Amino acid sequence: MPRVAIPRAMIQVTGDIELAEEELQFRFVLASGPGGQNVNKVASAAQLRFDTASAALPDPVRARLRALAGRRLTREGEIVITAKSYRTRERNRHDAIERLLSLIRQAARPPRTRKKTRPPRASKERRLQEKRTRSRRLDARRTPND
């Protein structure tokens, strides 16, 4: 029997960044929130785990992603996103994926470089004038030395 290659599902993040669906690990847990008594019986909250170390991301994007993740980043380098806003597993799963993609898109944008600027002459002059005024005010408060 010939081997048939199974196409991997890819998620397009940006123009040049794609994630394989196998890189996303889901676990469904009990959630609070909308759902009434159903919430006590059905594990509908989606917990998404994404390993930043093994992901096919450029190094600068990976570094910015880890910085942006904040407390969602574990010691092992995994980002954990819990989605529990909706009543169904599928909607919570989709919400978790969208939140991860949003985070990666934000990390994919390189930070703007700072342009050096010089303060205008008028602002320098105002600062020096304020210093002179403050100095005179403090001198006036001193007790005179006879």
Average of pLDDT values for 20-42?
74
**pLDDT tens per residue, range 60-98:** 888 888 888 888 888 888 889 888 888 888 898 899 989
Q: Which pLDDT value is given to residue 120?
A: 94
Q: What is the token pair recorded at 94?
A: 């989709």
Average of pLDDT values for 47-58?
83
Q: Which pLDDT value is given to residue 118?
A: 92
What is the C-alpha separation between 137 and 141, in angstroms, rounded?
7
Q: What is the token pair recorded at 87?
A: 């009543």
Task: Give the DSSP H/E element, type plus range, for residue 68.
Answer: helix 59-69
**pLDDT tens per residue, range 94-109:** 999 899 889 988 888 8
Average of pLDDT values for 10-19?
75
Cβ-in-10-Å burial (0-12, 13-18, 19+) of 84 comes to: buried
CATH of 10-108, one of 1.10.8.10, 3.30.830.10, 3.40.50.1820, 3.30.160.20: 3.30.160.20
CB 85 within 8 A of CB 33: yes
Please report the beta strands in 21-135, taking only residues with DSSP state E, as ranges in sequence order. Answer: 24-29, 45-51, 78-83
104 phi/psi in degrees, rounded to 5: -65, -40
Query: Above 80 in pLDDT, residue 129?
Result: yes
34 phi/psi in degrees, rounded to 5: -65, 145
Q: Which pLDDT value is given to residue 2?
A: 58
Query: Above 70 in pLDDT, residue 132?
Result: yes
CA dihedral 104, 46, 8, 2 (to 10 degrees): 160
Domain boundaries, the chain: 10-108
Q: Which pLDDT value is given to residue 134?
A: 96
CB 73 within 8 A of CB 55: no
What is the C-alpha separation between 128 and 83, in angstroms, rounded?
55
What is the C-alpha separation between 24 and 88, in angstroms, rounded?
19
